[in-house]
């Protein structure tokens, strides 16, 4: 048996009370209304700095957005009208080993990979397909027409009951109609596609859940000398690296603005 010094186990989370459950992440930006349901607990409004635990459900309303930062330095940005569950999270910070499994039942999310994705151990499931992420950044949208998976950076493997498709080029995507339909074909992401993506960040005037936050320090959002309004609109063009760079800018800017650049854990 592997000896993890810092670990989140499925069995431990199932039998622990919410008050004693292991923290796996932190809410680093929250715009209302976003809600959280921990195992065995009532649904409550989510706030910045809230501890995220194993098997926790996150739900956003039409006006809500959330950003979560995890122990392995990965981040999850959650769009409005979205439901997500943190199914499993196991991580040993000494070896960088472990795995992460998240489920998306409706809506959209953007995952920016940390240590676990670099080991190929980050997965996101939808009713249409299971998505494995290696060393990368991915946007996943699920609705009545199936799942859309966009590879911004790294290698993304899409698997369901009909087969497996792998995207290994940035800014390419696939559609998956349902679990029994083969993913694909692989297509280039167009500017028109980007214009219709859900939003994952604060709107101008929103503070990400931090009262009084209106701008981030110069340079934190990538445009030297210009204020950012908490990074509502990161600049990018549809190139192989443009969108991934914008995702990193959003993450860094929001975390700097909320004072939560990375979660800290004790064990």
Q: What tens digit of pLDDT does each residue of 99-132 get?
A: 999 999 999 999 988 888 888 789 999 999 999 9
Q: Write the pLDDT tens digit of every residue in 39-71.
A: 889 999 998 888 898 899 999 999 899 988 888
- Cα 146 to the center of its chain, rounded Å: 19
Dist. CA 166–CA 198, nearest whole Å: 24
Give the pLDDT confidence score for residue 113 in this predicted structure. Answer: 86
Convert the pLDDT of each residue in 133-151 to its tens digit.
998 889 999 999 999 999 9
Enumerate the domain spans of the chain: 10-195
pTM of the entire structure?
A: 0.75
Using one digit for the tens of pLDDT, what is the confidence trace for 202-257? 777 677 777 665 544 434 444 334 444 444 333 334 444 444 444 454 455 444 44
pLDDT digits (tens, 9 = 90+) for 173-206: 999 999 999 998 999 988 888 878 888 877 776 7
pLDDT of residue 48: 83
Is residue 21 very low, low, confident or very high in pLDDT (cuts 50, 70, 90)? low
Locus of tokens 């192989």: 240
CATH of domain 10-195: 2.60.120.1440
Segment 66-80 mean pLDDT: 89
Between residues 131 and 93, the one the model is more confident about = 131
Region of 259 (left: φ > 0; alpha: ψ -120 to 50; beta: rest) is left
Using CA atoms, how far apart are residues 121 and 153, in angstroms rounded to an integer? Answer: 16
């Amino acid at each position: 048996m592997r000896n993890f010094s810092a670990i989140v186990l499925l069995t431990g989370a199932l039998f622990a009370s919410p008050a004693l459950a292991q923290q796996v992440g932190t809410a680093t930006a929250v715009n209302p209304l976003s809600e959280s349901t921990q195992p065995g607990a009532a649904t409550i409004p989510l706030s910045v700095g809230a501890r995220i635990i194993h098997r926790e459900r996150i739900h956003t309303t039409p006006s809500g957005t959330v950003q979560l930062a995890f122990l392995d330095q990965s981040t999850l940005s959650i769009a409005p009208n979205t439901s997500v569950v943190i199914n499993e999270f196991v991580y040993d910070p000494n070896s960088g080993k472990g795995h992460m499994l998240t489920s998306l039942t409706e809506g959209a999310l953007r995952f920016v990979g940390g240590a676990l994705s670099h080991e190929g151990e980050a997965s996101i499931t939808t009713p249409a397909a299971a998505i494995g992420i290696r060393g990368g950044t991915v946007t996943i949208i699920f609705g009545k027409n199936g799942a859309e998976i966009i590879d911004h950076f790294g290698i993304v493997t899409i698997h369901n009951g009909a087969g497996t498709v792998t995207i290994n080029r940035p800014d390419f995507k696939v559609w998956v109609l349902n679990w029994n339909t083969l993913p694909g074909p692989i297509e280039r992401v167009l500017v028109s596609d980007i214009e219709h993506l859900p939003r994952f960040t604060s709107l101008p005037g929103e503070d990400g859940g931090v009262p009084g936050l209106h701008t981030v320090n110069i340079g934190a959002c990538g445009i030297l000398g210009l204020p950012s309004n908490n990074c509502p609109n990161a600049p990018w063009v549809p190139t192989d690296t443009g969108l991934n760079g914008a995702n990193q800018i959003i993450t860094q800017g929001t975390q700097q603005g909320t004072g939560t650049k990375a979660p800290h854990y004790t064990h």
